[in-house]
Amino acid sequence: MCGIVGYIGPREAYPILIKGLKRLEYRGYDSAGIALLNGDLRLYKNMGRVKELEASIVGQNVTGNVGIGHTRWATHGEPNNENAHPHFSQHKTLAMIHNGIIENYASLREEMQMRGHHFLSETDTEVLIHLIEDIQQNENVKLVEAVRIALNQVVGAYAIVILAKGDQDTLIAARKGSPLVVGIGDGEHFIASDATPLVEYTNQVVYLNDEEIAIIPRNGDMRIITIADQEKTPYIQQLEMNLSAIEKGGFDHFMMKEIFEQPLSIRDSMRGRLRVEQEKISLGGISEYEEKMAHAKRIIMVACGTSWHAALVGEYLFEDIARIPVEVEYGSEFRYRNPIINEDDIVIAISQSGETADTLAAIRMAKAKGATIIGICNVVGSSIARETHAGSYTHAGPEIGVASTKAFTAQVAVLTLMALRLAKKRGTIERSRFHHLLYELEQIPFKVEETLNVNEKVKQIAKTFINARNFLYLGRGYNFPVALEGALKLKEISYIHAEGYPAAEMKHGPIALIDKDMPVVVVATNKGTYEKVVSNIEEIRARKGVIIAIVTKGDTEVKRLADYIIEIPETEEMLVPLLATIPLQLLAYHIAVQRGCAVDMPRNLAKSVTVE
Ligand code: AGP
């Protein structure tokens, strides 16, 4: 997610802004910028790190005791200098920084262009600040009123801070869906996207609520109004966090922070795309190629590691509901095995980093053979994203932990949206089922929140297994890729060997491994093949295997057979991977932590495998 800082008070703003942006670097970003006001409104920004921004400003005028700063995690428009924040309004009377996604920015942009506005960037942010100035000047209202009117026209999420050329004594901030916190100092105010940059200056903070606008003065108390123009009393809280903890949002590791971000990241992956009332799925990024996808004779999904597991879920989804043949390929195998690729093939490349060498090479080969390449990436403007014909970003925000968690569920969410949209287009799904699945999908972030409640129980279960030497993970159907992903999570952060298998395959060999020292994780939430999974569990039990079962809340049968039970909420079978994966992420995490492993930076691993 983007990082936001702002300052107004008696001190020079520049050092406070730069230090604040450095405190936010843990959030991940691709460009940085600041705006300062001291008579004239000056803006410095560039692609790259904060220290590069600092170097580029040396010798420039950095005076001013009011300013704003931003680290950008690209959502609209590639990482480059023009798309970096802050953004000026048309007449450069305003500068703004923004965290979030304005869903209706394209229509607003067209409207403004018809009124003669010229945009320098591809961002949704620049459209919003142009709109605000346009309202302020054409309706001759104060800035805060212009902000309020504009935000009533906006659909989506925002945390914004605005600096106005004519007003050295006020900052305007507003939020909906993206956090914003104001620090109350002694005759000074600080603003940030989280408390990290504030902790060293104050422990008195006000967290803005959705649809609130803050008028932050140089002297005196801040005011809050809503976008419905109601006055609100700021609720000042005591900040109880120390600096070191705060950089991981209060969690011990980035991986845990990212596991717990999944309600938000899944919501963000569907934001502006899932409209249950209108029974509609919008995937603008692939609209140009949707016809071709819907008529494809086959879809090849190419990925590595966790993304390959997401591709496997994608295969089950696309074949089950859109009835399109799918093949799933490891990038490293696909690129070298001289595969048959036809010009009417669709290749979907799935990659969190968008830089995985094997996946990149695989799509280059497929593209050269005439296939159409669709991307599902998390990093905007990454190499794979740039080399595809079209695609849909996962919008999961930066994933810092080497073990992929929120990126996986966001990939599965986007694949689910794609499969449903293609199923509707191809007429392979009944309207009532389509609507029901959209409704269920909308409920998933809430059910993920509920699933995260098993954390303490999983932590206790993990204690029993920190000295295990092997694990088996079993699942059927949609839960087979979940079993593979659970095994990979355990392997890569705890260094315990683990193997994922289709549950029925166990009797074709792995059952020889079962004894009292073999923990077996069984994902047993199936509806269609539930009885068969129960039989598999009985086979394990008969050989004294130790069974950890993931079951649907209220299950009684497996409860009777398993040694440990972890319950997840009920949902449609095809959506279970979005929930069942979470206890497996937590199990791997807690075992690794209790084994003293370097969870965020496991040995021998890199976050992005850019080499063969
Ligand atoms: C997953 O936890 C691993 N870090 C690794 O398998 C990863 O999924 C794989 O390297 C692919 O990375 P990508 O999604 O960035 O292409």
Block residue for tokens 């595969």: 339
CA distance 483 to 153: 45
Provide Rg for the chain, Cα atoms: 25
Give CA 13 to chain center in angstroms: 31
Amino acid 246: pLDDT? 52
Range of weakest confidence among 39-48, 353-362, 425-434, 596-605: 596-605
**Is the pLDDT higher at 608 or at 138?**
138
* Whether the bond into 339 is cis, omega within 30 of 0: no
DSSP assignment of 11-42: S-HHHHHHHHHHHTGGG--SEEEEEEEESEEE
Amino acid 386: pLDDT? 85
Given a cut of 60, whether residue 431 has pLDDT beyond it is yes
Query: To the nearest whole percent, how much of the chain has pLDDT over 70?
Result: 98
Distance 255 CA to ligand 1 centre (A): 14
Q: Known catalytic residue: 607?
A: yes
Given a cut of 80, whether residue 548 has pLDDT beyond it is yes
Residues 473-484: tens digit of each pLDDT: 999 999 999 999
Q: What is the mean pLDDT of the chain?
A: 94
Assign 3-class secondary structure to 512-576: HHCCCCCEEEEECCCCCCHHHHHHHHHHHHHCCCEEEEEEECCCCHHHHHCCEEEEECCCCHHHC
Residues 581-596: tens digit of each pLDDT: 999 999 999 999 999 9
Amino acid 544: pLDDT? 93
Given a cut of 70, whether residue 247 has pLDDT beyond it is no
The answer to whether 158 touches 143, Cβ cutoff 8 Å, is no
Nearby residues of 46 by Cβ (< 8 Å), 6 or more positions away = 31, 32, 33, 52, 53, 56, 81, 84
CA distance 2 to 22: 12
Distance 312 CA to ligand 1 centre (A): 14
Given a cut of 60, whether residue 245 has pLDDT beyond it is no
DSSP 8-state secondary structure symbol assigned to residue 156? B
Distance 606 CA to ligand 1 centre (A): 9
**Vertex 397: Cα angle to 424 and 75 (nearest 5):** 70
CA distance 60 to 80: 21
User: In which band, very low, low, confident or very high, does the pLDDT at 239 lie, cut at 50, 70 and 90?
Assistant: confident
Dmax over CA atoms of the chain, in Å, equals: 80
DSSP assignment of 135-150: HHHHTT--HHHHHHHH
Distance 352 CA to ligand 1 centre (A): 7
DSSP 8-state secondary structure symbol assigned to residue 595? T
| Closest ligand 1 atom, residue 492 Cα | 2
Q: Ligand 1: which residue has its CA nearest to atom 3?
A: 403
Q: At what angle do helices 455-463 and 577-594 cross, to 10 degrees?
A: 50
The answer to whether 500 touches 473, Cβ cutoff 8 Å, is yes
User: In which band, very low, low, confident or very high, does the pLDDT at 399 lie, cut at 50, 70 and 90?
Assistant: confident
Question: Phi and psi dihedrals of 522, rounded to 5?
Answer: -115, 120
- For residue 221 the two structure tokens come to 């108390």
Given a cut of 80, whether residue 467 has pLDDT beyond it is yes
Q: Annotated catalytic residue: which of 2, 304, 377, 597?
A: 2
Block residue for tokens 């904060």: 50
- Span 125-144, mean pLDDT? 97
Amino acid 574: pLDDT? 97
Given a cut of 80, whether residue 569 has pLDDT beyond it is yes
Q: Of all helices (H) and strands (E), which one includes residue 277?
A: none
Amino acid 12: pLDDT? 97
CB under 6 Å to ligand 1: residues? 304-307, 351-353, 356, 359, 402-404, 492, 608-609
| Closest ligand 1 atom, residue 609 Cα | 10
- Span 563-570, mean pLDDT? 98
CA distance 232 to 223: 7
The answer to whether 563 touches 548, Cβ cutoff 8 Å, is yes
User: In which band, very low, low, confident or very high, does the pLDDT at 410 lie, cut at 50, 70 and 90?
Assistant: very high
DSSP 8-state secondary structure symbol assigned to residue 284? G
Amino acid 181: pLDDT? 93
Question: Phi and psi dihedrals of 93, rounded to 5?
Answer: -90, -15
Sheet (strand 189-192) strand order: 40-47, 31-38, 66-72, 3-8, 189-192, 181-184, 204-207, 237-238
Amino acid 77: pLDDT? 83
Residues 323-359: tens digit of each pLDDT: 999 999 999 999 999 999 999 999 999 999 898 989 9
Q: Ligand 1: which residue has its CA nearest to atom 4?
A: 403
The answer to whether 4 touches 191, Cβ cutoff 8 Å, is yes
The CA-atom distances, in angstroms, between 100 and each of 117, 175, 283, 396, 397 are 22, 9, 18, 12, 10
- Span 104-121, mean pLDDT? 94
- Nearest alpha-carbon partner for 283 in 398, 376, 175, 146: 376
Q: Ligand 1: which residue has its CA nearest to atom 16?
A: 351
Q: Ligand 1: which residue has its CA nearest to atom 9?
A: 305
Given a cut of 90, whether residue 423 has pLDDT beyond it is yes
Instruction: Report the residue among 350, 394, 404, 601 best suited for mutation to probe ligand 1: largest number of ligand atoms under 8 A from its CB.
Output: 404
Given a cut of 80, whether residue 458 has pLDDT beyond it is yes
The answer to whether 102 touches 132, Cβ cutoff 8 Å, is no
| Closest ligand 1 atom, residue 331 Cα | 16
Amino acid 241: pLDDT? 58
Given a cut of 60, whether residue 412 has pLDDT beyond it is yes
Given a cut of 60, whether residue 515 has pLDDT beyond it is yes
CA distance 441 to 356: 29
| Closest ligand 1 atom, residue 607 Cα | 4
Instruction: Report the residue among 332, 352, 378, 411 best suited for mutation to probe ligand 1: largest number of ligand atoms under 8 A from its CB.
Output: 352
Distance 9 CA to ligand 1 centre (A): 45
Residues 38-75: tens digit of each pLDDT: 999 999 999 999 999 999 999 999 999 999 999 998 87
Question: Phi and psi dihedrals of 552, rounded to 5?
Answer: -75, 140
Instruction: List alpha helices for 194-347, DSSP H.
Output: 243-246, 254-260, 262-270, 290-294, 305-317, 331-334
Amino acid 243: pLDDT? 53
| Closest ligand 1 atom, residue 306 Cα | 8
Given a cut of 80, whether residue 609 has pLDDT beyond it is no
The answer to whether 57 touches 44, Cβ cutoff 8 Å, is yes
Amino acid 351: pLDDT? 97
Residues 165-222: tens digit of each pLDDT: 989 999 999 999 788 999 999 999 999 998 878 988 998 999 999 999 999 999 899 9
CA distance 437 to 428: 14
Give CA 271 to chain center in angstroms: 11
Distance 404 CA to ligand 1 centre (A): 6
- Span 392-408, mean pLDDT? 92
